[in-house]
Amino acid sequence: VRHLVLVLGDQLDEASSAFDGFDASQDRVWMAEVAEESTHVWSAQQRTTLFLSAMRHFAQDVQARGWPMRYRPLDDPDNRGSLAEELMLAINELRPQTLVLTAPGDWRVLQALRAVARASGVPLDLRDDRHFYSTVRDFTAHAQGRKQLRMEFWYREMRRRHGVLMEGDQPAGGQWNFDADNRAAFGKGGPPTLPDPTRFEPDGITQDVMALVRQRFASHPGQLDHFGWPVTRTQALQSLDAFVRERLPHFGQWQDAMWEGEVWLFHSHLSAALNLKLLNPREVVAAAEAAWRSGHAPLTAVEGFIRQILGWREYVRGIYWTQMPGYLDGNALDAQAALPAFFWTGDTEMACLRDALTQTLRHGYAHHIQRLMVTGLYTLLLGVKPQAVHAWYLAVYVDAVEWVELPNTLGMSQFADGGLMASKPYAASGQYIKRMGNHCPGCRFDPAQSTGAQACPYTTLYWDFLLHHQAMLANNPRMGMALKHLDRLDGDQRAAIRQAAQAHRVDVGAAG
């Protein structure tokens, strides 16, 4: 074998750089399903199923092309259980001259595969991941000489460089960012009639994988009954098409809104297909821009959507690869509490949190504001150790791959990087959640109260968070308003809040 072309579970793209120059007469594709990828965090059943099913479908396509392949299923009795050991075995059997790999999404995986290449003495040809608009080198160049990194400047650079939503050298509509028009709540009547979610009945391959996952990872979190994610490129393209037709015109407007029991709202649900590389961000961005140019969707919606992909998605990848491996250890707020066990079951009386956790375990999905301002806000305020929060997010979402999950969790949501990702902690009381959805009226807690039997834990913990971090946050100009409100609390009120917060921590099993 000349080239052994390594394809990982999040590299399911036949146009990937690893396939450049592939010669079926002397090269071979290598893929392996290994238990380690489902156990290094406690991977939820939906997430593992999605990865394995998409891998098997991709392998089928590759083989249909007539490309020779070595594919190791998870249930092969000889399976060694880790990428490194499986690769070593393949090298010993196939004696390739070179290993070819498109840069992987996980720092950990890159180290492991590099170590195998070194140990076996086979050179590793590591290629840029063309899936992304930018390279890590582009990001490094952008970051150089800047005192502060902000997504907005990166996003503008990307818009200009790739000619997205541009009119000459000016942004379309005369503005880079229409966020001020977004972020509305639904109001009392709730969301307008929602389009049906785009779901796919599990086919034979997916059903086999579901049976395997149920048996092999029986104790792992989440349920499989509602599995309907796209597992092929064809399905992913159908999802994109349906999103652009049915949801994109309203994207943005209600981007931050929540509604009890409504999982899908006007979001795209394309993150998993993008992260597995079933979809290319360029085709997603082009479809959105075309919808604006044809008059199908307003610029506010289209710009908001494109910013998530061309801006945020590329930005967090740059942060990850320029900050690893140290980024993993960040804990700027010195948070040490344990993650409450109900994060794995949804069993809590807090209505907003129960709703977000329940749908997460049922579908492997929650939208951004649920992740940031319900689950993430709660662990931030509770003071959960960021590494435990990271392990949870990486485990439960179908779109969770470390390069994108880690900066969002550790940086944006938990402020554990001390402000690299976010200019201030995303701290808020229960009043924010009340404003953005309809969970509070039916909840046994009252977001207006910080102490007493009806006190909303979010509100209690919010004031406790400000009290606890007052000195550190005082240096942050964006926290001035919030800290000013602390002045209104007298000594007794402060003590009562601290006591209520501590009682809550003990109650949920988070106290040290």
d(CA 6, CA 13) in angstroms, rounded, equals: 12
| Distance in Å, CB of 372 to ligand FAD, minimum | 4
Shortest Cβ distance from residue 390 to ligand FAD (Å)? 9
**Can you say whether the dihedral through the CA atoms of 158, 164, 167, 171 is positive or negative?**
negative
H or E element: which one contains 177?
Answer: none
Residue 145 burial by Cβ neighbours in a 10 Å radius (0-12, 13-18, 19+):
exposed
CA–CA distances in Å: residue 218 to residues 42, 201, 205: 11, 22, 19
Can residue 268 be called a binding residue for ligand FAD (CB under 6 A)?
yes
Given 271, 280, 300, 459, the residue binding ligand FAD (CB under 6 A): 271
Q: Which helix (H) or strand (E) holds 293?
A: helix 281-293
User: What binding mask, one character per residue, do residues 447-486 give for ligand FAD by CB under 6 A, x or -?
Assistant: ----------------------------------------
Any alpha helices (H) in 163-260, and if so which ranges? 204-216, 233-246
What would you report as the CA-atom Rg of the chain, rounded to the nearest whole angstrom?
23
> Could you say which of 101, 231, 372, 436 contacts ligand FAD (CB under 6 A)?
372
Q: Does 292 bind ligand FAD (CB under 6 A)?
A: no
Among 52, 101, 339, 404, binds ligand FAD (CB under 6 A): 404
- Annotate each residue in 214-253 with x if it binds ligand FAD (CB under 6 A) or - if it does not, as one string: ----------------------------------------
Residue 464 is inside which H or E element, if any?
helix 457-473
Nearer to ligand FAD, 311 or 447 (CB): 311
Angle at 455 between CA 453 and CA 458, to 5 degrees: 145
Question: Which residue, 19 or 251, has its beta carbon nearer to ligand FAD?
Answer: 251
Cα(491)–Cα(498) distance, rounded to whole angstroms? 11
Q: Does 399 bind ligand FAD (CB under 6 A)?
A: yes
368 binds ligand FAD, rule: CB under 6 A: yes
Eight-class DSSP state of 286: H
Q: How many CB atoms lie within 10 A of CB 283?
A: 12
In the set 303, 405, 417, 464, which binds ligand FAD (CB under 6 A)?
405
Q: Is residue 267 within the footprint of ligand FAD (CB under 6 A)? A: yes
* From 220, 363, 371, 504, residue interacting with ligand FAD (rule: CB under 6 A): 371
- For residues 463 and 487, is the Cβ–Cβ distance under 8 A? no
- Cβ closest to ligand FAD, residue 41 vs residue 116: 41
Does residue 387 interact with ligand FAD by CB under 6 A?
Answer: no
**How far from the centroid of its chain's Cα atoms is residue 492's Cα?**
41
Does position 287 interact with ligand FAD (CB under 6 A)? The reply is no
CA distance 103 to 181: 38
408 lies in the site for ligand FAD, by CB under 6 A: yes
- The C-alpha atoms of residue 265 and residue 236 are separated, in whole angstroms, by 18
Total binding residues toward ligand FAD, as defined by CB under 6 A:
28
Q: Measured from the CB of residue 316, what is the shortest distance to ligand FAD in angstroms?
A: 5
Residue 71 φ then ψ, to 5°: -120, 125
Among residues 308, 323, 438, 460, the one that binds ligand FAD under rule CB under 6 A: 308
Q: Mark out the alpha helices in 78-232 (DSSP H runs).
A: 83-94, 107-120, 136-143, 151-162, 204-216
Check residue 393 for interaction with ligand FAD (CB under 6 A). yes
Binding flags for ligand FAD, 97-126, as an x/- string (CB under 6 A): ------------------------------
Q: With binding defined as CB under 6 A, does residue 397 bind ligand FAD? A: yes
What is the token pair recorded at 223?
């349920």
Cβ-based nearer residue to ligand FAD, 182 or 460: 182
Q: Least distance (Å) from ligand FAD to the CB of residue 304?
A: 9
Contact between 365 and 269 (Cβ < 8 Å): yes
* Part of the chain binding ligand FAD (CB under 6 A), chosen from 203-211, 408-416, 453-461, 492-500: 408-416
Q: By the criterion CB under 6 A, which residues form the site for ligand FAD?
A: 267-271, 274-275, 305, 308-309, 312-313, 316, 367-368, 371-372, 376, 393, 397, 399-400, 404-405, 408-409, 412-413
